[in-house]
Amino acid sequence: MSRIGKQPVVVPSGVTVTVNKDNQLIVKGPKGELKQEVDRDITIEVKDGQVIFNRPTDQIRHRALHGLYRSLVDNMVRGVTEGFKKNLELVGVGFKASTGTPSHVAACFRSRNARTCGNSDRRVLATAQVASACGPP
């Protein structure tokens, strides 16, 4: 079996996992609801607070899907309980970044590097959701 696929997904309290007859997995938790269509060859068992994935054969396709769906569902469970966050770190000289009061932050980075950019400026607009508390790393 796939090393990732053979590990069960632990479902914490407050999260419900259901499987439709169309092999669609629904994960509901305190932060929302997520749905994922699962290939018809992969079977899903929900019991004792765990989600277990099984594959019919050892074909390359089945082995790949086995680990894929286990990882996707693990991330779905984590997303409806903790949410997702992205930590950004600005390193270097000449970068400007600002934060705003809304839940989204737009940071515009401006760098001038003669070796990589020539004499032109490179601008990148990055939008990320910010956690409620920001502090130094």
Q: What is the pLDDT of residues 35-57, one digit of tens each?
A: 999 999 999 999 999 999 999 99
Q: Say yes or no: 77 and 92 in one domain.
A: no
**Do 24 and 76 lie in a common domain?**
yes
Token pair 């932050």 is at which residue? 105
- Does a structural domain hold residue 1? no
pLDDT > 70 in the chain, percent: 67
66-88 per-position pLDDT tens digit = 999 999 999 999 999 998 877 87
Q: Which residues on neighbouring strands pair with residue 27, listed in sequence order?
A: 17, 34
Nearest CA-CA partner of 39 in 54, 49, 27: 54
Q: Does residue 4 lie within any of the structural domains?
A: no
Both 42 and 96 in one domain: the answer is no
Q: Which among 63, 81, 99 is the end of a domain?
A: 81
Query: Is 76 within a domain?
Result: yes
Is position 29 within any domain?
yes
Expressed as residue numbers, the domain containing 94 is 85-137
Q: Which residues contact 28 (CB under 8 A, 6 or more apart)?
A: 15, 16, 18, 80
pLDDT average, residue stretch 121-125: 42
DSSP conformation class of 8: P
Q: Which whole number is the average pLDDT over 15-21?
A: 94
Residues 77 and 105 in one domain: no
Residues 6+ positions from 57 with CB-CB distance below 8 Å: none
The last residue of a domain, from among 37, 56, 81: 81
